[in-house]
């Protein structure tokens, strides 16, 4: 997998493929940042200008650039040619791109945190990705009170103090990915959703409020640790019998497939996860 200059799509995006791209944004050089800025549309550039801190502006620009470049890996359009709309909730949607087969069917999601960005694309309807940093200054009690279920709070309290922060960030990242996958964002009823992370590496989601989706098989989840202090979660609505082929890669080392630390459904092994050239 490599960035191309001819913008011909080199990879096939099958109906069950769900590629996730991650990028470490620390130390990105100014030329790279300028190149990324050039792929953004005027609205994105105007939003980028409004960030108070240059690092937040950098991460915003690189997240939107990463999404554009990711889409261009799978469809014959240059990164700057993709057109997005934004729903009132904030959810980004790809606008119909004339002449791009399947372009408009793609669901997209992106995330930025200090020093890291991520995105996911798929021929899915409900898709969310989130990346967060494990930071000791996080107020675990406050966020748990607002966004965690009582079962999640109890599970956190059962952990040794040394394990609590990491687990908290895993839950938080999953919740954000879920909030984006539903499209509800900030208005999602997060305490009504319980993620269960068992010691054997399994991962489950149960929703209290929606009878139609109470089965944990309705959503497929995968959790990655692209770096020791980062967690990346993907949440996608299960569409058929086969699980989504979620394959996460590092933009800086595209041949490297990131191994998940937890999954709700089996993922392809590293061999099967290789990109399929057309």
Helix (H) or strand (E) holding 14: none
- Please give the Cα distance from 215 to 237 (Å, whole number): 11
173: closest CA among 44, 265, 262?
262
Return the number of the residue (1 or 250) whose C-beta is nearest ligand COA.
250
Structure tokens at 111: 């995330």
Binding residues for ligand COA, how many (CB under 6 A)?
23
Stretch that binds ligand COA, among 96-104, 152-160, 181-189, 227-235 (CB under 6 A): 181-189
Residue from 40, 66, 100, 110 binding ligand COA (CB under 6 A): 110
Least Å distance, CB 81 to ligand COA, is 18
| Total number of residues shown for the chain | 278
Helix (H) or strand (E) holding 224: strand 219-224
Q: Does residue 170 interact with ligand COA by CB under 6 A?
A: no
Which residues in 182-201 contact ligand COA (CB under 6 A)? 183-186, 190
Residue from 69, 73, 123, 175 binding ligand COA (CB under 6 A): 175
Instruction: For residue 84, count other CB atoms closer than 10 A to its CB.
Output: 17
Residue from 27, 137, 146, 277 binding ligand COA (CB under 6 A): 146
What are the two backbone dihedrals, phi and then psi, of residue 185, each rounded to the nearest 5 degrees?
A: 55, -125
**Residues 49, 53, 59, 64: what is their CA dihedral angle, to the nearest 10 degrees?**
-20
Stretch that binds ligand COA, among 50-58, 97-105, 110-118, 239-247 (CB under 6 A): 110-118
Residue from 23, 69, 180, 251 binding ligand COA (CB under 6 A): 180
Q: How far is CA 95 from CA 105, 106, 107, in A?
A: 9, 10, 10
What residues make contact with ligand COA under the rule CB under 6 A? Answer: 60, 89-92, 109-112, 130, 143, 146-147, 172, 175-176, 179-180, 183-186, 190
């Amino acid at each position: 997998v490599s960035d191309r200059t001819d913008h011909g799509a080199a990879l096939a995006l099958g109906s069950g493929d769900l590629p996730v791209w991650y990028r470490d944004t620390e130390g990105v050089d100014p030329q790279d940042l300028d190149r990324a800025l050039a792929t953004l549309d005027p609205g994105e550039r105007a939003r980028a200008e409004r960030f108070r801190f240059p690092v937040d502006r950098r991460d915003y620009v690189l997240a939107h650039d990463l999404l554009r470049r990711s889409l261009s890996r799978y469809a014959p359009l240059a990164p700057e040619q993709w057109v997005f709309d934004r729903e009132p909730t904030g959810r980004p949607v790809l606008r119909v791109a004339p002449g791009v087969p399947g372009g408009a069917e793609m669901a997209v999601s992106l995330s930025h945190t200090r020093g890291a960005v991520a995105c996911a694309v798929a021929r899915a309807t409900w898709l969310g990705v989130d990346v967060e940093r494990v930071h000791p200054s996080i107020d675990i009690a406050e966020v748990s009170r607002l966004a965690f279920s009582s079962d999640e709070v109890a599970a956190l309290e059962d952990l040794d103090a040394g394990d609590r922060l990491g687990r908290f960030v895993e839950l938080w990242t999953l919740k954000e990915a879920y909030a984006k996958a539903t499209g509800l964002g900030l208005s999602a009823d997060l305490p009504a959703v319980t993620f269960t992370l068992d010691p054997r590496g399994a991962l489950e989601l149960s929703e209290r409020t929606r009878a139609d989706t109470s089965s944990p098989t309705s959503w497929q989840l995968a959790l990655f640790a692209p770096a020791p202090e980062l967690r990346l979660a993907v949440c996608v609505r299960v569409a058929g019998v086969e699980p989504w082929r979620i394959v996460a890669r590092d933009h800086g080392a595209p041949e490297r497939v990131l191994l998940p630390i937890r999954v709700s459904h089996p993922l392809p092994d590293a061999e099967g996860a290789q990109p399929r050239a057309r």
